[in-house]
Amino acid sequence: MALTLDDVSRLSPAASRERFRAGLAVPTAGWSAGYAQANLLMIDREAAFDFLLFAQRNPKPLPILGVLEPGQVSSDLLADGDIRTDIPRYRVYRRGELVDEPTDVLETWNERMVSFLIGCSFTFEAPLLQAGIPIAHIEQGRNVPMYRTSIPTQRAGRFEGPVVVSMRPIPASRVADAVRITSRYPAVHGAPVHVGDPAAIGIADLASPDFGDPVDIPDGTIPVFWACGVTPQAAVMQVRPELAITHAPGHMLVTDLRDSEFQVP
């Protein structure tokens, strides 16, 4: 029996995760509306201090929502869940090369791995829409476009690499509102890192994103760039650890945290 977008938006996070655990492999945009979705990075405990320090030094691209310690497969972010099965699709990297995109990682995961759950800008798209600010990639039915930039992260141990940003074209008269609204969500990337000229942050062509889909830029809008949770995937490709597991782009962990918990005054 097919589920409509309206059906899945009303599922509890636990009910959404149950379907993904059973093998459903679809993007999570719109699932369990009102609940935060998270990026995943799993790496060996030996590299975990360097990565947590990398996140601490780069809180805009890498806001940590939770950490599962070695051997842990569940936490209060996914009550009764299993981080190895509850994401619709994973990516497995060996020495920085993508080698598999499975729907579970029961065989690949091991007791030494630490799972980092990282905030996602999906959380602040709902309040932008509620404020009447149009979001081009949603209107155009595409994934958000993401770009590597010339902005460096602050290095920690072996981890380094460029800040990856997501881009949303915002009507010029609403840029101030978009800044104000997203500033209130520091745990999901917060305020933009750049407004306007893509070339100023090393983006050659908006029509050719490094991740996600290109979007048409409506007249009267200006490109606005937010730090993006894909930044660790870029670092993993650069640092080439023996084994790393992430979610597949757009296929996030649906958590039990409400979006509203991330709003600050």
Does residue 56 interact with a second copy by CB under 8 A? Answer: yes
Does residue 69 interact with a second copy by CB under 8 A? Answer: yes
Minimum distance from residue 67 beta carbon to a second copy (Å): 6
Stretch that binds a second copy, among 61-69, 124-132, 171-179, 193-201 (CB under 8 A): 61-69
Does residue 49 interact with a second copy by CB under 8 A? Answer: yes
Does residue 258 interact with a second copy by CB under 8 A? Answer: no
Residues 110-149 touching a second copy, rule: CB under 8 A, are 114
Does residue 67 interact with a second copy by CB under 8 A? Answer: yes
Nearer to a second copy, 216 or 242 (CB): 242
Does residue 64 interact with a second copy by CB under 8 A? Answer: yes
Does residue 261 interact with a second copy by CB under 8 A? Answer: no
Does residue 179 interact with a second copy by CB under 8 A? Answer: no
Minimum distance from residue 56 beta carbon to a second copy (Å): 6
Nearer to a second copy, 43 or 87 (CB): 43
State which of residues 48, 87, 117, 187 lies at the interface with a second copy (CB under 8 A). 48
Size of the site for a second copy (CB under 8 A): 13
Minimum distance from residue 154 beta carbon to a second copy (Å): 10
Does residue 45 interact with a second copy by CB under 8 A? Answer: yes
Q: What strand order describes the sheet that includes 146-152?
A: 146-152, 162-171, 221-227, 194-195
DSSP secondary structure, the chain, as one string: -PPPHHHHHTS-HHHHHHHHHTT-----TTTTTTEEEEEEEEEEGGGHHHHHHHHHH-TTT--EEEEEPTT----GGGTT--TTTSSS-EEEEETTEEEE--S--TTT--TTEEEEEEE-THHHHHHHHHTT---HHHHTT-PPPEEEEEEEPPPBTTB--EEEEEEEEEEGGGHHHHHHHHHT-GGGT-S-SEES-GGGGT---TTS-SBS------TTEEEEEEE-TTHHHHHHHHH--SEEEEEPTT--EEEEEEGGGG---
Minimum distance from residue 59 beta carbon to a second copy (Å): 11
* CB contact set of 49 (below 8 Å; sequence gap of 6+): 157
Does residue 52 interact with a second copy by CB under 8 A? Answer: yes
Binding site for a second copy (CB under 8 A): 45, 48-49, 52-53, 56-57, 64, 67, 69, 114, 156-157
